[in-house]
């Protein structure tokens, strides 16, 4: 990682806590990076983040998800956040505890070198209806900053941060690789994770995106009292604005080869613009486009129990009624579907009225790329989601990311003869 000494930044010198022995432990094993940071740097913008999911159609337990974002700050400023537990609560206001409770020498290094000692953090996250807590070792592992979850919620698991300067030195690529165990959280999260083959991956992605952007926002805060969060009213764009064409471009080709790719677009207000997720389907584009435009196939969306066609009013497109079958949210509603280069749908009745999504299909080697773009208005889908987004506005984007990935991948799984 270029500028690695700046990442260390001397923050370890502030370590406190009870020393513990280092003997008898193994070095942490972090999976290799999903993609070089330069690959992410070429597609990131100030308002577009990139997420890389597992390539396998149905990910195994403890899936690895990578999130990359562009930070308007130097690498040293980002590293100062990552290596200073005192700033974690500023970055994530819902983190009610992040306390150093033990220290130990870095494995294989002198305790007073540039990497500093490893520190054991006791953390607690306040979420509407329940709290999550656990412990994690904070360390510098080569060119990465690591959080290794050792007990409590989401353990065993790890969060690995990498960063690199962008040309000019005033901006940074920040990437996180997150792999956690949802089964070690509480019963609500375990139940959601078991809902479908994509739920655990979707939850990991939501948490990874929120954590990554929280670090980025805190690094950009420049000494202000707290990290800014979007506070303007939540509103989806017009359905005609949804566009996932970038994911089919040559710029994303190497990322598409590494896994399922998604992009999170942020509006100028900081609110969610929309999320796009791209899934490969081994069939010709005309066949795929026709299937994606058929509302009955949308029952593959997690939580969509049934889709029923309704009589259309004169001059309108197709109307469909959706009934859900997922706990804690209300996805029942009526959608207006229009066609013309893409299948586009707008929720015109129900709790999530105003939600929008669109399907686009592109020819790629081996078949078709199906791109789903969505703003699901989960803030209006029920009490739990509404409260969660009110407490942490970044969850508007994170939850939408998870849902869009799950919907795109689930439908691609249904349309693919041979599961990947």
Between the CA of residue 247 and those of 23, 201, 257, what are the distances in Å? Answer: 47, 20, 12
Query: How many structural domains compose the chain?
Result: 2
Q: What is the pLDDT of residue 122?
A: 97
Q: Which of 220, 255, 275 is the endpoint of a domain?
A: 220
Do 188 and 301 reside in the same domain of the chain?
Answer: no
Model pTM score: 0.89
Q: What's the mean pLDDT when you consider all of the chain? A: 86
What is the average per-residue pLDDT within 225-235? Answer: 83
Containing structural domain, residue 101: 39-220
| Helix or strand holding residue 220 (H, E) | helix 199-220
Residue 353 lies in a domain: yes
Residue 165 lies in a domain: yes
Residue with tokens 């923050």: 11
Do 212 and 265 reside in the same domain of the chain?
Answer: no
Do 182 and 259 reside in the same domain of the chain?
Answer: no
Residue 15 lies in a domain: no
Do 158 and 258 reside in the same domain of the chain?
Answer: no
User: pLDDT of 360-397, one tens digit each?
Assistant: 999 999 899 999 999 999 999 999 899 999 999 999 99
Q: What percent of the chain has pLDDT over 70?
A: 85
Residue 408 lies in a domain: yes
Do 273 and 399 reside in the same domain of the chain?
Answer: yes
Residue 168 lies in a domain: yes
Between the CA of residue 112 and those of 24, 58, 107, 118, 142, what are the distances in Å? Answer: 21, 45, 12, 11, 16
CATH number of the domain encompassing residue 404: 3.30.530.20
Q: Which of 151, 185, 220 is the endpoint of a domain?
A: 220
- Cα–Cα distance for residue pair 83/278, rounded to 1 Å: 34
Do 277 and 214 reside in the same domain of the chain?
Answer: no
- Cα pseudo-dihedral 96, 148, 172, 170, rounded to 10: 60
Between the CA of residue 109 and those of 18, 69, 78, 105, 139, what are the distances in Å? Answer: 19, 31, 24, 7, 12
Do 261 and 403 reside in the same domain of the chain?
Answer: yes
Pull the structure tokens for residue 416.
């693919």
Q: Which of 202, 220, 238 is the endpoint of a domain?
A: 220
User: pLDDT of 316-332, one tens digit each?
Assistant: 789 999 999 877 789 99
Q: What is the pLDDT of residue 31?
A: 45
Do 320 and 392 reside in the same domain of the chain?
Answer: yes
Residue 187 lies in a domain: yes
Is 102 within 8 Å of 20 (Cβ atoms)?
yes
Going by the DSSP 8-state scheme, the letter that residue 35 receives in this structure is S
Residue 420 lies in a domain: no
Do 81 and 181 reside in the same domain of the chain?
Answer: yes
Count Cβ atoms below 10 Å from residue 251 Cβ, excluding itself.
12
Do 55 and 170 reside in the same domain of the chain?
Answer: yes
Do 170 and 260 reside in the same domain of the chain?
Answer: no
What 3-state DSSP class applies to 127?
A: strand
- Cα–Cα distance for residue pair 323/244, rounded to 1 Å: 27
């Amino acid at each position: 990682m270029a500028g690695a000494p700046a990442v260390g930044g001397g923050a370890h010198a502030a370590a406190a806590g009870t020393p513990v022995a280092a003997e008898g432990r193994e070095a942490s094993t972090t999976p290799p990076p999903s993609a070089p940071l330069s690959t992410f740097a070429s597609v990131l913008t100030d308002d577009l983040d990139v997420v890389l999911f597992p390539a396998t159609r149905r990910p195994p337990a403890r899936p690895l998800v990578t999130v990359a974002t562009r930070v308007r700050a130097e690498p040293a400023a980002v590293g100062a956040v990552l290596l200073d537990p005192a700033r974690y609560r500023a970055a994530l206001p819902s983190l009610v505890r992040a306390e150093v409770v033990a220290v130990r020498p870095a494995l294989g290094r002198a305790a007073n070198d540039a990497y500093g000692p490893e520190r054991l953090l006791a953390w607690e996250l306040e979420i509407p209806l329940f709290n999550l807590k656990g412990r994690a070792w904070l360390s510098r592992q080569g060119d990465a900053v690591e959080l290794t979850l050792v007990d409590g919620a989401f353990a065993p698991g790890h969060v690995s941060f990498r960063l690199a300067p962008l040309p000019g030195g005033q901006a940074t690529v920040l990437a996180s690789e997150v792999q956690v165990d949802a089964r070690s959280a509480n019963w609500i999260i375990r139940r959601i994770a078991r809902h479908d083959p994509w739920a655990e991956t979707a939850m990991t992605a939501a948490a990874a995106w929120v954590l990554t952007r929280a670090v980025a926002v805190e690094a950009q805060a420049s000494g202000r009292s707290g990290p800014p969060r979007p506070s303007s009213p939540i509103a989806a764009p017009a359905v005609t604005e949804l566009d996932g064409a970038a994911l089919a471009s040559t710029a994303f080709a190497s990322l598409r080869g590494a896994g399922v790719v998604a992009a999170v677009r942020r509006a100028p207000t900081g609110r969610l613009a929309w999320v796009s997720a791209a899934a490969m389907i081994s069939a010709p584009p005309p066949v795929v486009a026709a299937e994606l435009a058929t509302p009955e196939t949308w029952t593959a969306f997690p939580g969509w129990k049934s889709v029923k066609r309704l009589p259309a009013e004169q001059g309108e497109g197709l109307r469909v009624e959706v009934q859900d079958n997922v706990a804690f949210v209300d996805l029942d509603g009526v959608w207006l579907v229009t066609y013309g280069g893409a299948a586009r749908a707008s929720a015109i009745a129900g709790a999530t009225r105003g939600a929008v999504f669109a399907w686009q299909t592109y020819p790629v080697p081996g078949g078709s790329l199906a791109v789903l773009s969505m703003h699901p208005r989960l803030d209006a889908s029920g009490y739990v989601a509404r409260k969660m987004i009110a407490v942490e506005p970044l969850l508007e984007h994170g939850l939408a990311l998870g849902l869009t990935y799950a919907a795109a991948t689930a439908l691609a799984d249904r349309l693919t003869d041979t599961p990947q």
